[in-house]
Amino acid sequence: PNAKEKNLDLTYHVHPEVPNALIGDSVRLCQIIINLMSNAIKFTPRGGITLTVEKQSDEQTDLTLHFSVADTGIGIPIEKQTTIFEPFEQADMSTTRRFGGTGLGLAISTQLVHMMDGRIWVESEVDKGSTFHFTARFKQAKPVESKGPESPSLVRPGLHILLAEDNAVNQL
Ligand code: ADP
């Protein structure tokens, strides 16, 4: 709704080499993306925001993705481009009154990214826009091998199973 209100274009590109399924913490991943997208919307008066996801590297059991959120907003002065990742730091303390916020979002995102074995950084130019990048490492999801209907555990005769479930929805 905030993007719509400001008439901002929201687009995303997920490169074809990004697998459909990976093993990782989807809740925390969403938290990082939502934080970066919310900031991008907050600090962009006109133009748009693009989320891009591409594969960075592929190491047998693991895979690293590179995410970027690019906006056409107010930008961040070079001397603030590292401090904003610290807790309670905002690029311009006078923007607190204008834009609100706590200065904690990027500090939390940084911790979450580190827990996913990744790094986070920004490229930005004042009045041109900012691109926030982060990487995160996931486990590759192995395709489940189907054993077929003749699987011994499925047809073993005389097997009684007691399934106890106290939740009405699960019982159904
Ligand atoms: P908050 O948004 O609550 O202030 P964050 O930690 O998410 O806290 O961001 C810290 C500061 O970094 C912001 O106050 C702002 O000064 C700057 N910032 C973050 N994202 C952007 C962006 N996309 N464009 C311009 N400045 C940004």
Residue 74 near ligand 1, beta carbon < 6 Å: yes
Contacting residues for 121 by C-beta, under 8 A, at least 6 apart: 132, 133, 134
Q: Which atom, in ligand 1's list, is nearest to the CA of 108?
A: 6
Percent of the chain with pLDDT over 70: 88
User: Which ligand 1 atom sits nearest the alpha carbon of residue 103?
Assistant: 8
Q: What is the mean pLDDT of residues 71-100?
A: 86
Beta carbon of 72 within 6 Å of any ligand 1 atom: no
Region 17-37: what's the mean pLDDT?
95
- pTM of the predicted model as reported, rounded to 2 decimal places: 0.83
Average pLDDT of the chain, as a whole number: 89
Q: Which residue has the higher pLDDT, 151 or 62?
A: 62
Q: With a cut of 90, say whether residue 114 has pLDDT above it.
A: yes
* Residue 103 CB–ligand 1 contact under 6 Å: yes
Judge whether 57 and 21 are in contact, CB under 8 Å: no
Q: Inform me whether the pLDDT recorded for 112 exceeds 80.
A: yes
**Any alpha helices (H) in 48-136, and if so which ranges?**
95-99, 105-115
Task: Confirm or reject: Cβ of 138 under 6 Å from ligand 1.
Answer: no
Average pLDDT over residues 115-134: 97
84: DSSP letter? G
Per-residue model confidence (pLDDT) at position 171: 80
Least confident range from 41-50, 59-68, 93-102: namely: 93-102
CA distance 88 to 5: 28
**CA gap 76, 85 in Å, rounded:** 12
